[in-house]
Amino acid sequence: MATLAVLAELKDGAARKITFEMLAEARRLSDASGGGTVGLIALGALGPGESDRLAHQGADHIYHVEGEALSGYAAEAYAEGVKVALDRARPDTLFIGATSQGKDLAPRVSARLRVGLASDCTEFAFHNGDLTARRPIFAGKAFGRVAWNAARPRIATVRPNTFTPLEPDTSRKAKVENVPIGPVKARARVVGFERSEGEMLDLTEANIIVSGGRAMQGPENFELLRRLCKVLGATLGASRAAVDAGWIDHSHQVGQTGKVVNPTVYFAVGISGAIQHLAGMSSSRTIVAINKDRDAPIFKIASYGIVGDLYQVVPLLTEEFERALKE
Ligand SMILES: Cc1cc2nc3c(=O)[nH]c(=O)nc-3n(C[C@H](O)[C@H](O)[C@H](O)COP(=O)(O)OP(=O)(O)OC[C@H]3O[C@@H](n4cnc5c(N)ncnc54)[C@H](O)[C@@H]3O)c2cc1C
């Protein structure tokens, strides 16, 4: 029987989508192993009804760590928060989101506990009773299957948008245990967040992404893509060429040195499809490529390809989507 725990990623007291994705996978693994418990570690304030929501989507036991030290994200304080919760929960395996925060925190927790960490995992399975994980390597050109040594808990960061959250079951209940934490001396603390682009969802959580590349030629032409984003409720992405040219902020960059995304639909507009870009988006469910070069490598992985000039195609698509969605 496996005992798994998920570290909730919270924003203003509400769990982000990655939390529910990890809960679904933890639940599946736990059931597959004969029905162990799924713990959930929540650090800092939880909004009203949030514990119920987490229970409805798979958590059996919520370890709620609260204290002054966790009032804003600080890696050292959060690592201590995870540790005090793990001392109570004692899971075999801990899932942490492979998000900006999770990527900062997971190595710290792993080093502190001297246990193994598998990062950016996209699949888990039991082999002869032992858990293994599949993770992309060499910028997504290959996959590796990894196992942990005997030290517990195993820690894995989980790629966002890989697992589908469970349908909420309102009859499910979780035990909520409050875990105190004393003061922690943190050398750095995040004092605030600034939204980089209006009301758009973060790239890693977006269901639809419209990305522009070098063919955008300048910051002003990204307006074309913003209009399409608005119609589709999509988030704006970019290739490194566009970011390096200073046309758009790095927070929009998709790829090996940007964000790894996994949306339902990814529009690659005027992007050639370099391996480093593909490393960040090739697992998107549907890829639509718009490029005037019919031999552009992006067409090799595209589900739909439009060979044409983006300055003609994008306005037409925007108009057509607007009309179709109104209907
Ligand atoms: C270590 C390293 C890390 C990197 N990390 C990243 C990363 O994270 N993300 C990333 O994206 N890149 C990354 N790169 C850079 C990568 O190698 C490519 O240089 C980059 O992705 C190219 O961006 P692009 O496709 O926008 O530009 P280009 O390769 O120049 O492609 C532009 C495309 O636009 C098409 N086009 C031109 N005009 C039009 C038009 N009017 N209508 C339609 N199509 C048109 C062209 O046919 C062409 O295919 C990295 C490189 C290195 C070495």
Find out whether the beta carbon of 321 lies less than 6 Å from any atom of ligand 1. no
In this structure, the strands spanning 304-307 and 175-180 are unpaired
Report the distance separating Cα 193 and Cα 246, nearest Å.
22
Residue 196 has pLDDT above 70, yes or no: no
pLDDT tens by residue, 161-194: 889 999 999 999 999 999 999 999 888 878 887 7
pLDDT tens by residue, 219-264: 999 999 999 999 999 999 999 999 999 999 999 999 999 998 989 9
Q: Whose CA is nearest to atom 39 of ligand 1?
A: 215
User: Looking at this protein, which amino acid is placed at residue 5?
Assistant: A
Half-sphere exposure at residue 80, Cβ-oriented, CA atoms within 13 angstroms: 17
Q: Do domains 4-180 and 203-326 have the same CATH topology?
A: yes
ipTM: 0.99
- Which of the four CATH numbers 3.40.190.80, 3.40.50.1360, 3.40.50.1860, 3.40.50.1220 does domain 203-326 have? 3.40.50.1220
Q: Residue 210's closest CA among 176, 171, 254?
A: 254
Collapsing DSSP to helix, strand or coil, 302 comes out as coil
Cis status, amide bond into 153, omega within 30 of 0? yes
- Domain 4-180, CATH class in plain words: alpha beta
Best of 292, 301, 313 for a ligand 1 pocket test (most atoms within 8 Å of beta carbon): 292
pLDDT tens by residue, 289-302: 999 999 999 999 99
DSSP string, 264-285: SEEEEES----HHHHHHHTT-S
Domain boundaries defined on the chain? 4-180, 203-326
pLDDT tens by residue, 86-143: 999 999 999 999 998 999 999 999 999 999 999 999 999 998 889 999 998 887 778 9
Best of 211, 222, 267, 291 for a ligand 1 pocket test (most atoms within 8 Å of beta carbon): 291
β-bridge mates for residue 238, sequence order: 212, 253
Tell me how far apart the terminal alpha carbons of the chain are, to the nearest angstrom: 51
Find out whether the beta carbon of 68 lies less than 6 Å from any atom of ligand 1. no
Find out whether the beta carbon of 140 lies less than 6 Å from any atom of ligand 1. no
Q: Whose CA is nearest to atom 40 of ligand 1?
A: 309
Find out whether the beta carbon of 239 lies less than 6 Å from any atom of ligand 1. yes
